[in-house]
Amino acid sequence: MAAEFEPRIVAFLCKWCSSAGADLAGVSRMEYPPNVIPIQVMCSGSVSPLYVFSALSHGADGVLVSGCHPGDCHYIKGNYYARRRLALVKKLLEYIGLEPQRFQMSWVSATEGVKFSQLIYDLVKELKPLGPQTKFRRNY
């Protein structure tokens, strides 16, 4: 029997809320699937669309951007920019034909360990049936 498809996901987590939330999930030992590789950024507002495209072109099957809740940004309003900018990116990706599940945004605060772990569960569950992402993957 062929092994089940395991999506590889890159998660851009802001340092102050979402990465701290992921740390809390760890401290509370809330298990979730190991498919996500976290990359810590200072603020979700610093996530350039290029990062998303780059992850997809290097073979990520899904990309997650997570920051502080709107209104709670450590840098005041970075996540508002992220929200607007990445909503456009999402539209663009979907327009090109990428499955909407493959690029997701969420808001996870430093106290939401449970939410973070649930988020990863759901993400992996949604991506498994889709199989590998080939639309953007570069052929080496």
**Is residue 122 close enough to count as binding other proteins by CB under 8 A?**
no
**Is residue 71 close enough to count as binding other proteins by CB under 8 A?**
yes
**Is residue 135 close enough to count as binding other proteins by CB under 8 A?**
no
Work out which of 7, 45, 103, 127 binds other proteins, going by CB under 8 A.
45
Q: Collapse the DSSP code of 130 into the 3-class scheme (helix H, G, I; strand E, B; otherwise coil) and give the result.
A: helix
Q: Near other proteins by CB under 8 A, which window of 67-75, 90-98, 99-107, 125-133? A: 67-75
User: Interface mask (CB under 8 A) for other proteins, residues 78-97, using x and -?
Assistant: x--xx--x------------
How far apart CA 19 and CA 110 sit, in angstroms, is: 7
How far apart CA 65 and CA 11 sit, in angstroms, is: 6
